[in-house]
Every structure is written in C-alpha cells, then in structure tokens.
Amino acid sequence: MSDTTSKSSLGAWNQRLLAAIFLGGQVPIHLLRGKIHWRNTLEQMAAVGPDSLFIALLTAVFVGAVFTIQVAREFINFGAGNIVGGVLAIALTRELSPVLTAVVLAGRVGSAFAAEIGTMRVTEQIDALLMLKTDPIDYLVIPRVLACCFMLPILTLLSLITGMMGGFIIATNVYNLSETAFMESARNFLGTWDIVSAMIKGFCFGTFIAVIGCNWGMTTTGGAKGVGQSTTTAVVTALLIIFVSNFFLSWIMFQGTGNAISLPGL
C-alpha cells in the first residue's frame, strides 16, 4: 500500500514538474506579447526585494563570519593569512551568496507564491479571471517571474557585500589580520566574471523559484489541505532545482584546468 502511494506521489510530482517546464516555456512567449501588469509586477518586486532584504543580509553576515572562522585559523597556521579575504570573496561570489540567497527566497517567496495562487485555484478565483478574459499567466505568473529575475541578482550582490563585512569583522577583530591585506586580497582574487556569474546564477535561480512556486499553485487541488501540500512541495522542489542547477551552472562557468584564482606576481 505504501509503495503504491509513493509511486502515485512520485507520478504526480513528475506531472507537475513537467507542467512547470511547459509554464517556463510559456513565460518568454507572453513577455514578447508585451502584456505586462506593471502594478502587480511592482507589488511583487517589493515583496521579493525590500521585504526579503533583512533576512537575506542577516544570513549573509553570519555565513561570511562562519566561513572566516573556519578558514582563517587554518590559513594562518600555513602562513597564508594574507589571502583569507580573497578566498572568502571567491567563495561568496561564486557559490555562497547566490545559492544561500536563493534558498532564503525559495523558503520565503516561493512558498508565498504557491500558497497565494493555490488558494486562488481552490476558491475558483482563477476560473473567475478566465471568465473575465484575463490570462492567469499574464496576470499572476509574469509579474512574479519578473520580480524574482530582477530582485534576486540585486539581493545576491548585497549579500556578497554583507558577507564580506561579516568576514572582515571576524578576520580583523578575532584573528588580528591586517585590514589592508584582507581587502587587497579580495580585490586581487575577484574578477569581473565572478561578479557576472553571481548575477547570472541569481537570475536563473529567481526564474526557477517563481516558475515552480506559480506552477505548484496553479495545479493545486483538494482544498485547504491541498494548498498546504502544494506549498511544502513547491519549496522542496525549488531547493532541489537550485542545488542541481547550481552544479551545472558552476560546471559551465568554471570548468577546465586553468587557474581558479590569480595571485599578484605569479
């Protein structure tokens, strides 16, 4: 009985994931038509950006601080304390800032999208939109996708800056590292492509979070219980897609045997 239930659950998840892929394919088509509800888009941008700023930056501060605690001691033992800032900058820019910011947004915004649209589905509000000849994708999905695509790269950059501040405080106050050496190593290690790659990852993760949250909401059935299940599954699916896609994005952006970092004078 449990095997049958798990198979049916997996089958339903696969169907909804396939529906999410189709929904993602419809988004650029609707964008090209130019029917964008700007008021809805601005409201969603406020929800995704400013309303999520505090928790994203708070997360970044402690991530940067913890990473510095783990790295600084070992590097100082090897006589390489002057490159702690550069290593932190590389780790935050390439992986930690985009991924952890996306994780925070998936839990906060992706769940809200699924719950809100799922409630509209089970209360037949989406059917009412269709009766009024309003396309639910134009009215509900596109504003949320645009909001996540615009705001997540910005939040990623702010998280990078805040994470560096957290690491800087720990490195200079706890491990007595030179402030100048910390900032100089970060500047020497980071390249333009590192910043661009963080923005690209933020854009991709934002798209995934919005599409998955909206799709799970649009395909909700079963009343209040179904809304709760859709919200939970949407968050879990978004997190899974973020981690899997992060591997492939990192593979594409940083593969090869070239130097991962460039040290001055080498």
So what's the pLDDT on residue 257? 56
Can you give the pLDDT at residue 7? 64
The CB density around residue 237, as the number of other CB atoms within 10 Å, is: 23
Quickly count: other Cβ atoms within 10 Å of residue 4's Cβ: 8
- Residue-wise DSSP of 30-47: HHHHT---HHHHHHHHHH
Phi, psi of 222 (to 5 degrees): 95, 25
- Which of 36-45, 147-156, 171-180 holds the top average pLDDT? 147-156
CA distance 135 to 32: 15
Instruction: Tell me the pTM.
Output: 0.89
**pLDDT tier at 77, thresholds 50, 70, 90:** confident
- Type of residue at 117: I
Query: Which tokens hold the place of 161?
Result: 């800056």
Give the amino acid at 157: L
Alpha carbons 60 and 169: distance in angstroms, whole number: 13
pLDDT tens digit sequence for 87-117: 999 999 999 999 999 999 999 999 999 999 9
- Convert the pLDDT of each residue in 6-25 to its tens digit: 667 788 888 988 989 998 89
pLDDT tens digit sequence for 219-234: 888 888 889 999 999 9
The answer, yes or no, to whether residue 265 has pLDDT greater than 70, is no
- 161 contacts: CB under 8 Å, gap ≥ 6: none
